[in-house]
């Protein structure tokens, strides 16, 4: 189990560090304990350990990998109460959502444990005197730098696919949320993976994360976080000519047409912006509504937003705190700089009592009549804030939906099947949902962005393609 000091996990063992920093509870501003501030030497130790383990792991059979991945899923489920509590207290998210994250993490290991046994190369019919086939081979050691909003899900989906493919891995969890990633490393070790197959280096992003991104022993990098940091990661990978998967920001839109089933849509519209306090790259942060149903949609959303309970994540409210006081300042800043728009509900921190008065809380917020070209409609807020605009026809709706630098998710709410297919084709986004949003955990669904939302795909069978490289063999008969 995790001790009061959260340490790195390298080569099957906890590794102490001379320097530490405090892990802050976002609900109270108090410390949850110390976290090891690992060094570049620790990162080198982790990468070296992964490389040593990978020499044998790459030779393991799909059956063996499957067995260990499925066993990891079983152990995650057995530890779900502990994992959910750690995730909720680290991130501030409601306990119910943290349980969902633990379950989804288990599902990733189970999914890739089954998928790897049916993952094949191809035979290419080039001629009667040639036998040509392809092999999918691992990169070696993969590096994973993940965000703080879904630490258990994000590291689980990346590492499960990497291990299934024959790689070994080193992960750097976010500064604010290290504990479940270290606990996952313990579970993977317990499941029977070789020591060093999965290593965790805790610490500060500018130190530990940078050392991992720059390490010469990393053969593949994946990153989840902001577009600015993603660009830095991509440059580091390009300098060494290694592939990357970047899952970056989003400014996702819900397009609500006049013929939509409003009562069915509204609960999903609300969930899309309040889940995880809006700190989701795929949050439905733009509400684009046909002018004929605008008033009805806004009124019904406001009614639901104002019923949401707010509190400490481990008390399982409808909405927990933002990740930190820094993030609270960021979200508040968007409201302070608002030049056009009407704050219909929310717009500030709620007044809470006791130790929660120092927490990083922000009320569910809907801002109407926002200029689509303004900062608040163009930039990722990463808080429970949705901005609303109207449109008059399909072409205007499409122009608004595509009118940002991002392209991660969009949703179309309509009863017109032809319109739904046209919008799905024309919208620049990696995922388009029709009359639903987010599709739950989406383990089976390829996930990734267009434009500045990143490149590469995680989740689904496609992730196995990301973590392997094709070798073509041509044999003269």
Query: 203: which 2 tokens?
Result: 């610490």
Distance CA 177, CA 150 (A): 9
Question: Could you give the CA distance from residue 302 to residue 413 in angstroms, rounded to a whole number?
Answer: 18
Query: What tokens appear for 160 in the block?
Result: 């499960």
Distance CA 472, CA 329 (A): 53
Residues 10, 188 contacting (CB under 8 angstroms): no
Two structure tokens written together for 142: 């993969």
Task: Supply angle C-alpha 226, 228, 229, rounded to 5.
Answer: 70
Q: How far apart are CA 294 and CA 4, in angstroms?
A: 51
Cβ neighbour number for residue 452 with a 10 Å cutoff: 21
β-bridge partners, 131: 475
Bridge-based pairing of strands 365-368 and 385-391 is parallel
Residues serving a catalytic function are 247
Spatial separation of the C-alpha atoms in residues 424 and 419, rounded to whole Å: 8
The token pair that represents 37 in the structure block: 């501030």
Measure Cα distances from 281 to 173, 200, 258, 323 in Å: 17, 24, 27, 14
Segments in 341-474 forming alpha helices (H)? 375-378, 394-401, 417-426, 462-466
Chain centroid to Cα 201, Å, comes to 19
């Amino acid at each position: 189990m995790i001790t009061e000091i959260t340490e790195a996990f390298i080569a099957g063992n906890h590794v102490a560090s001379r320097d530490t920093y405090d892990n802050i509870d976002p609900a109270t501003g108090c410390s949850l304990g110390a976290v090891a501030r690992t060094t570049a030497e620790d990162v080198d130790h982790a990468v070296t350990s992964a490389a040593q383990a990978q020499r044998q792991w790459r030779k393991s059979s799909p059956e063996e990998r499957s067995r260990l991945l499925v066993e990891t899923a079983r152990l995650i489920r057995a530890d779900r109460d502990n994992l959910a509590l750690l995730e909720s207290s680290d991130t501030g998210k409601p306990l119910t959502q943290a349980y969902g994250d633990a379950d989804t993490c288990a599902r990733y290991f189970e999914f890739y444990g089954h998928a790897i046994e049916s993952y094949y190369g191809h035979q290419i019919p080039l001629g009667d005197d040639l036998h040509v086939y392809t092999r999918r081979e691992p990169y070696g050691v993969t590096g994973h730098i993940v965000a703080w909003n879904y630490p258990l899900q994000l590291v689980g989906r990346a590492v499960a696919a990497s291990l299934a493919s024959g790689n070994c891995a080193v992960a750097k969890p976010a500064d604010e949320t290290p504990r479940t990633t270290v606990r996952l490393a313990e579970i993977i070790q317990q499941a029977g993976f070789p020591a060093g197959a999965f290593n965790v280096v805790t610490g500060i992003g500018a130190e530990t994360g940078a050392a991992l991104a720059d390490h010469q022993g990393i053969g593949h990098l994946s990153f989840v976080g902001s577009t600015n940091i993603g660009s830095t990661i991509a440059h580091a990978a390009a300098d060494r000519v290694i592939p990357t998967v970047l899952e970056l920001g989003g400014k996702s839109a819900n397009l609500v047409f006049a013929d939509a089933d409003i009562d069915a849509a509204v609960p999903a519209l609300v969930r899309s912006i309040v889940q995880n306090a809006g700190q989701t790259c795929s949050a439905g942060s733009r509400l684009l509504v046909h002018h004929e149903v605008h008033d009805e949609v806004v009124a019904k959303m406001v009614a639901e937003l104002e019923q949401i309970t707010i509190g400490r994540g481990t008390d399982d409210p409808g909405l927990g705190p933002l990740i930190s006081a820094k993030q609270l300042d960021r979200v508040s800043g968007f409201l302070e700089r608002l030049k056009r728009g009407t704050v219909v509900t929310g717009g500030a921190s709620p007044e809470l009592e006791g130790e929660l008065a120092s927490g990083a809380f922000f009320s569910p917020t809907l801002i109407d009549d926002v200029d689509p070209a303004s900062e608040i409609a163009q930039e990722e807020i990463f808080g429970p804030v949705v901005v609303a605009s109207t449109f008059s026809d399909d072409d205007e709706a499409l122009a608004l939906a595509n009118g940002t630098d991002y392209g991660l998710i969009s949703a179309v709410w309509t009863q017109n099947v032809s319109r739904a297919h046209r919008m799905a084709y024309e919208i620049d986004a990696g995922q388009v949902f029709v009359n639903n949003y987010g599709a739950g955990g989406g383990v089976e669904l390829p996930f990734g962005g267009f434009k500045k939302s990143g490149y590469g795909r995680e989740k689904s069978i496609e992730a196995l393609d990301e973590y392997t490289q094709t070798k073509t063999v041509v044999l003269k008969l």
